[in-house]
Structure 1
């Protein structure tokens, strides 16, 4: 199993999770992070670090967000690795609790 970054990360991109990842499985896009399922070791240390509660075990991805499993896998193949914490996006706190953000994702 792996962990999945879900919709809550879109337009936030908090990187607290990146600092604690022991295997550098996070990949960075313009306004979203993903987890490379081939690198994730299912340690779960990233879950409590995410201020947006955007990271969940694959088996716990809600039904309406199942597409994020494939999205993480696909984007992890093309986005660069991120291994150090950065500042979140400037308006991250405004977007953190919004839903229906998939149309905001910049690939």
Structure 2
């Protein structure tokens, strides 16, 4: 997971790791530009998820950095419609991002 420098709280990661019997590999970055630079220098499949400003999602899609998300597996029932940010997270009818906190 590529995440902003203030998003790696062990109180969030450890319960997820235990519940799913996984170890989350985290790389922190400061600013969207730095995160996109890491992705640009990585191999396909190196990163599963990335925290990014929603307004930058279309730019990442245009560069071919992101894959569409399976909408049927996303927790939309738990989100207010106002925070889905479809104008930024849906490109050509496919969703590439979801709100990570609100």
Question: TM-score under structure 2 normalisation?
Answer: 0.23
Larger Rg: 2
By percentage of residues, which structure has more helix?
A: 2
